[in-house]
Amino acid sequence: MLALGQLLGALVIFGVNQIKNETGYLIAFGVQWAFSIAPFGMAFLLPESPAYLVRENKMDAARTSLAQLFAPKNNVEELLEKLREAIAEEERAAGSVTYRKCFQGTNRRRSLIVIFANLLPPLFGLPLLTSSSYFLQQVGMSSTYSLMMLIVGIVVGTIANLGSTWTLSHVGRRRLTISTLLFAAAIWTAMGVIGCLPVRGFTQWLTAAFLMLIIMVCGLGVWPASYAIMSEASALRLRAPSQAIGGISAYVSAIFTNFVLPYLYNPDAADLKAKTGFVFTGCCVLAAGATWLVVPEMKGKNVSEVDRMFQEGVGARESRKWRSDVETED
């Protein structure tokens, strides 16, 4: 839905781009109110969180919600029982829910992983990708073509996100995140090199092509994987406050990057243009190294297994083997 909203917004901006008076921006502002009706209506149709209903001891409602989300391919009663046991164990371990508890004991490590996962999108270059239209204009592309490339980028991102349903199901979080970050680093480097070469007339198009490729690579890997990591790393009982902390870190990083980025590529500042790619090369390599060091493999593990893994202090690099050991013991 987010990608669809971005696509509709980009199409509207492209449509009013040639209108030179105030009618252009008034149309753009007015259209967004019309499109907000659909998600508002869907909010009343989506099922309530099963975990919330179990905590409120509304088992029938939780069973109905689980059936809407997972039936008929999964046993609803089995899922409900596992969820109830996981929440009971979390309540015994965590006690009362406070923000302070997010940084106590084993929860400190989990909260730091959540924060790091929220920082992955700005590290692989999402702020620049979302402002690609303006960035491409600074590289030398016309506003009309830059808006067209923005639309193409949104379509490419949507296709990549659809493809990520396969990659997330078949590839581990660590491998998927690290490999796509390193691939993105190579593409950012290529873009930076293009910015150093005297290839006038082609730089903006090659830059646009590299941006599209980065959207595809990250959309299949690190971008959706970051959301999986931040949701899996937080303790179930502390998920709300830990996700709030992660969200704050994302907002702070967005403020910082959106403030700094224009100074890197604007003509009246550093004027790096396509050489801005070198900046994100370093960020991607740094993020890949940090992922290798601190993010454990949580794919395929249920809530109780993830809790036990953190309680035992299993290192990130030993996390994949740890699950195999547990299965052998069982």
Domain ranges of the chain: 106-330
What Å distances lie between residue 205 and 86, 97, 129, 231, CA to CA?
52, 52, 15, 37
- The yes-or-no verdict on residue 94 having pLDDT over 60 is no
What Å distances lie between residue 298 and 83, 106, 305, CA to CA?
17, 16, 9
- The yes-or-no verdict on residue 329 having pLDDT over 50 is no
Average pLDDT for 65-84: 87
DSSP 8-state symbol, 101: G
Contact 220, 167 (CB under 8 A): yes
- The yes-or-no verdict on residue 1 having pLDDT over 70 is no
Task: Name the maximum alpha-carbon separation found in the chain.
Answer: 72
Contact 267, 141 (CB under 8 A): no
Tell me what pLDDT residue 307 has: 84
Residue type, 143: S
Tell me what pLDDT residue 151 has: 87
Residue type, 83: L
Contact 66, 79 (CB under 8 A): yes
Average pLDDT for 310-321: 82
Contact 97, 245 (CB under 8 A): no
Percent of the chain at pLDDT exceeding 70: 93
Please count the residues of the chain.
330
Reading phi first (left if > 0) and then psi (alpha if -120 to 50, else beta), residue 273 is in: left
Average pLDDT for 2-19: 70
Average pLDDT for 163-173: 91
Tell me what pLDDT residue 328 has: 42
User: Which of 40-54, 93-107, 150-164 has the weakest average pLDDT?
Assistant: 93-107
Contact 131, 261 (CB under 8 A): yes
Give 53-61 contacts, CB < 8 A, sequence gap 24+. Answer: 54/80, 54/83, 54/84, 54/87, 55/87, 59/84
Tell me what pLDDT residue 330 has: 41
- The yes-or-no verdict on residue 125 having pLDDT over 70 is yes
Alpha carbon distance 182, 87 (integer Å):
37
Nearest 5°: CA angle at 278, between 274 and 282? 150
Contact 123, 254 (CB under 8 A): no
Distance from first CA to last CA of the chain, Å, rounded?
A: 42
Provide Rg for the chain, Cα atoms: 22
Reading phi first (left if > 0) and then psi (alpha if -120 to 50, else beta), residue 95 is in: left
Residues 264-292 pLDDT 10s: 999 888 889 899 999 999 999 999 999 99
Provide the CATH topology of domain 106-330.
Growth Hormone; Chain: A; (1.20.1250)
Q: Which of 31-40, 150-159, 175-184, 318-327 is predicted most confidently?
A: 175-184
> Which among 317, 323, 321 is positioned nearest to 304, based on CA atoms?
323
111-128: string of b/e by CB count within 10 Å (b at 16+)? bbbbbbbbbbbbbbbbbb
Average pLDDT for 100-118: 90
Percent of the chain at pLDDT exceeding 90: 39
- The yes-or-no verdict on residue 325 having pLDDT over 60 is no
pLDDT, averaged across the chain? 86
The two three-digit tokens of residue 179, written as one number = 């490999």
Average pLDDT for 80-95: 78
- The yes-or-no verdict on residue 180 having pLDDT over 50 is yes
pTM: 0.74
Residues 185-227 pLDDT 10s: 999 999 999 988 876 778 889 999 999 999 999 999 999 999 9
